[in-house]
Chain A
Amino acid sequence: MRIPCPICGPRDSREFTYRGAALDRPAPDAGADAWEDYVHLRDNPAGPTLDLWYHHAGCASWLKVSRNTVTHEITGAVLAGAEDKA
């Protein structure tokens, strides 16, 4: 499996560490349910999903990777947080 790192190009998946779904961190006062959701509860989608991967053996970028859990297709990868920085 290969992930197209926007910095390094397509690289073997063993260079990456999987973290999980790309979620927004709740505010400190968002309440117990919101935090429980963020830390522990995950959807299990059959189809397109957006995950965070860390290119630990490459450029050390955190990526948002679009992936299909049914076909195993990887349709894209962008730098996580890039949109906020711009």
Chain B
Amino acid sequence: MRIEGKGRIDRSTWYGFTFDGVHYEGHPGDTVASALLAHDVRMVGRSFKYHRPRGILTAGSAEPNALVTVGSGAHASPNERATMVELTPGLQVTSQNRWPSLGFDVLSVNDLAAPFFGAGFYYKTFMWPKAFWEKVYEPAIRRAAGLGALSGVTDPEECEKGFRFCDVLVIGAGPAGLMAAKLAAEAGADVILADEGTEPGGQLTAEVEEIDGMAAHEWAAKLWAELGAMPNVRLMLRTTVTGAYDQGTYGALERLRGHATGHGPRECFWRIAAKRAVLAAGSLERPVAFRDNDRPGIMTAGAVRAYLNRWGVSPGRNVTVFANNDDAHRTARDLVMAGVKVNAVLDARHDAPKSDDFAVIRGAQVCGSHGRKGLDGITYRTASGETTIMTDCLAVSGGWNPTVHLTCHMGGRPVWRDDILAFVPKPGAIPGMVTAGACNGAFSTAACLAEGVAAAKQAVEDLGLTAPDVTLPEAGTEAGGIFPLWAVPGKGRAWLDFQNDVTVKDVKQAATENYQSVEHMKRYTTQGMATDQGKMSSVAALAILADATGRGIPETGTTTFRPPFSPISIGALGAGSKGSGFAPQRYTTSHAATVARNAPMIEAGLWYRPSYFPQAGETTWRQSCDREVGYVRNAVGISDVTTLGKIDIQGPDAAELLDIVYTGLFSTLKVGKVRYGLMLREDGFVMDDGTTARLGENHYVMTTTTAAAGQVMAHLDFVTQVLRPDLDVSVISVTEQWAQFAVAGPKSRPLLEDLLETTLTAEDWPFMSCGPVTVGGVTGRLFRISFSGEQGWEIAVPARYGASLFDALVARAEAMGGGLYGMEALNVLRIEKGFLTHAELHGRTTAFDLGMGRMISAKKDCIGKVMAAREGLVDPGRAQLVGLKPVGEVQQLVSGAHLFREGAKIEPENDQGYVTSVCYSPTLGHSIGLAFLERGPRRYGEKIRMIDRTKGLETLCEVVNPVFFDPEGARARD
């Protein structure tokens, strides 16, 4: 219920929202949790395993229970914490893990069967029969035990990513963080202050207390505003620092638009590089385990106080407090001041402080709760026996756990402090990070303020700055008074991990069954493995484990805290990388004209290239492809080959560099000539191939395959910078600077003569020649090379003239009975000639395998030469390149299929090779393929079985020379 005169919400404005279809109203400043509690909605979900009713436990990001789905349809976002979702107009909120409804849930029968579902249940029960696990048990368990469900459709929400840099990152804007930021900022450091809340102050936002004579939350707001006015401070609210990584790198999730309707990104994932960091992450209140302590209406004492003081909501009308420390007494005090009835404070300590405002029952422990879907009473035990009282809200405090999580992200283990019964950070666990305030075990406001100043002083002095004098504000010094109480002994189930349904008994049973290491206990019971990662339960669980195993808490130790501190959506982590944003797109200068011709585009690395150019009346890609192959074989075809890597190599030692990286000799190549080159890796296997032209005495231009352009460039940089820095040579990629087109076919010469307005005689332009030409007044380059086996040329112009040259070439080709050809036709043309691509140069083939062993020059060293000569790499038994043609009834060839002798059993030992490239050859009228076959070149004429077990296909083939068409090569030289 709402309490008049309390809270910092805008009561003049009403926001309507729905929960499970029921309309409610709240105010700006509300969270879904506070708005539901204002309407006395206590049950908001069901637990993971037993489907027990679950209410709201906390008022912050550690919430394990109140997980809801926000939004609907494609916008639905599951497993959102109701305590963190800000109320916005029209919000649709749905409960989870129940069917058919939250009130009546079929699977809550699991709860009745609970004796069978204890620790290790999955391991023990579902192991037999083995085959049942995948088919029966796992699907059934997954259906039954699920939290929120994904919408199943593409999420239309956009997220953002960003990078920030600073001198000092302050994590948390409570009293310690605010003072740390103030000192660092006044010292002149570039400061980022991040807090996951919607207003500054941390725990101060939930308290009734004073700092420097002001209300504490007003003091925080004032200091926040002063910091915001400084040019060297960046303030980030709604920003959870989720992880600490190497070199002062921090991940942070900023909630931007959140679930509000409208435009702009929902969240932003930041990577923050900070020279120093101050962790002031505060602490999390822990519950006490007792029988049926999971009933809706049972909350942490701090949460009850937060709902009252910040949101003007009392989670009950008749509240009882159960605690083992002084801090929880504030909850009773604040409730009484606000006019809410407080039954009593049940304090486990026999020396608990008394109060004039409310009853304190010393030495009391709650040992049971009552009610169906929500709390209506509790039973507590004192020395004089058990008493049952009516109450609709129990505020529980078992003490506070410092939020040490980030300090453990690089392997640091927290240190146990007996005086405060809590783990504190190990100093120096994260290089460059200092800890301060409650996360460091300093629980009074005054101590937090002082530690914030001290931590920031250390950080700025590390950076060589001078720390200014900062006067500490006056604040309360009360803290602690804690007495150890983790679980109240007694019968029944006392819950530790509310989300994963782990009980005190489960932990004890794990210990009994010898799962005594904390990591084993965790996995055996699933304690701490839910979305809250055990924030509310882990310390209590290991305290119980420590007790059960007769060890102390420090010896028992903690499980490993890993990033992220709180859940991050995949959408935020992958921001900017979905759909077309996944990778950059590279377009050639003919892209627009190609797309205008309806050519389907395929990706080649980051490039887009046309598959084929469909024409009216063609219904399959094969029809287009066969026609395009015909252009090249019979008339003239045009293809954009810009995407092949082009590397400009200049300098007095250019020739020597090429001799080092290619197997062949390039220093002997004459100016105006082109040579085919094979490049090896240092281990002797083939890296890439291509042609290199000598444009001048000290000037070459190398081409690479499209796929390997980047790799070859890095390789040349490696050779020139690392292996041979003495060479006087420069290499640079010019792939994008030159648009290049293949002009191939018997009519290619007349086409180019018309275009260039010159004659291209066989004497001046023999096969494998190159030189400058003038194209419409522009200086370009012409190469007489062929990847089709026909008379072929490639003409290159500066990229800005590419689109224009493309149009000029296509118009002439079409007038001569030819036209454009795409990647499919290009592939057919090269397979017909036995030319190679990365289907063959796949990283496991050698020059020997490709029939190019003699291309490794004996006259010089080259990269890979020594290792290529290893015995095993020149073994005649190796699989070597051959051609295949089908000779039986089945004519289909498949790349990836394997080769077997006739009569041999189809098993791996008899595997003799594999197929790499196949196509239908319109020139020859049948399918052809390239394959690697053991001792292949000596087996021409032999029959071999091609087997593809995935397709159930067998094709009888003849082994042939891989050059299917024009083996003499006369057409290219013509």
Contacts and interface: CB of A to CB of B under 8 A. Distances in A.
B683 A39 contact: yes
Contacts of B249: 1-2
B725 A84 contact: yes
15 contacts: A2-B249, A19-B718, A26-B866, A28-B866, A39-B683, A40-B683, A56-B714, A62-B718, A62-B721, A73-B247, A73-B431, A80-B721, A82-B725, A84-B726, A85-B725
A42 interface: no
B867 interface: yes
Contact of B725 (A25, A39, A81): A81
B867 A81 contact: no
B247 A72 contact: yes
B865 interface: yes
A54 B725 contact: no
A39 to B, nearest CB: 5
A84 B723 CA distance: 10
A61 B721 CA distance: 8
A74 B725 contact: no
Interface of A: 1-2, 12, 17, 19, 25-26, 28, 32, 35, 38-40, 52, 54, 56, 60-62, 71-74, 79-82, 84-85
Contacts of A26: 866
B866 A35 contact: yes
Contacts of B861: 28
Given A35-B866, A54-B717, A56-B714, A80 B247 contact: no
Given A62-B721, A81-B721, A74 B714 contact: no
A62 B722 contact: yes
Contacts of B245: 1
Given A62-B717, A62-B721, A85 B865 contact: no
Given A2-B247, A80-B722, A39 B867 contact: yes
Given A17-B714, A28-B865, A81 B722 contact: yes
A66 B175 CA distance: 40
**Interface SS of B by simple majority:** helix
B710 interface: yes
Question: Which 10 residue pairs of A and B lie closest in terms of their CB atoms, listed nearest first?
Answer: A81-B725, A85-B725, A72-B246, A62-B721, A80-B722, A28-B861, A84-B725, A81-B722, A81-B721, A62-B722
A46 to B, nearest CB: 14
B682 interface: yes
A79 B722 CA distance: 9
Interface of B: 163, 245-247, 249, 273, 431, 682-683, 710, 713-714, 717-718, 721-723, 725-726, 861, 865-867, 870
Contact of B722 (A12, A40, A52): A52
A1 B246 contact: yes
A74 B273 CA distance: 15
Nearest to B714: A54
A74 B247 contact: yes
Nearest to A84: B725
A35 B873 CA distance: 15
Given A26-B866, A28-B861, 19 more contacts: A1-B246, A1-B247, A2-B273, A17-B714, A25-B723, A35-B866, A39-B682, A39-B683, A54-B718, A56-B714, A60-B717, A62-B721, A71-B431, A72-B246, A73-B247, A73-B431, A74-B247, A81-B721, A85-B726
A72 B866 CA distance: 35
Nearest to B716: A60
Nearest to B710: A56
Given A2-B247, A85-B726, A35 B721 contact: no
A28 B249 CA distance: 44
A62 B865 CA distance: 23
Contacts of B163: 12
A76 B824 CA distance: 49
Contacts of B714: 17, 54, 56, 60
A79 B721 contact: yes
A15 to B, nearest CB: 12
A30 B299 CA distance: 74
Contacts of A56: 710, 714
B131 to A, nearest CB: 41
Nearest to B715: A54
Nearest to B713: A60
A38 B683 CA distance: 10
Interface centre among A17, A52, A81, A82 (most CB of B within 10 A): A81
Contacts of A79: 721
B243 to A, nearest CB: 13
A61 B722 CA distance: 10
B247 to A, nearest CB: 6
A82 B721 CA distance: 8
Nearest to A64: B722
Interface centre among B163, B431, B866 (most CB of A within 10 A): B866
Nearest to A71: B431
Nearest to B863: A25
Contacts of A12: 163
A12 B353 CA distance: 56
Contacts of A62: 717-718, 721-722
A38 to B, nearest CB: 8
A37 B867 CA distance: 12
Contacts of B717: 54, 60-62
A35 B866 CA distance: 8
A25 B862 CA distance: 12
A40 B714 CA distance: 20
Nearest to A72: B246
Contacts of B722: 52, 62, 80-81
A1 B251 CA distance: 12
Nearest to B245: A1
Contacts of A28: 861, 865-866
A40 to B, nearest CB: 8
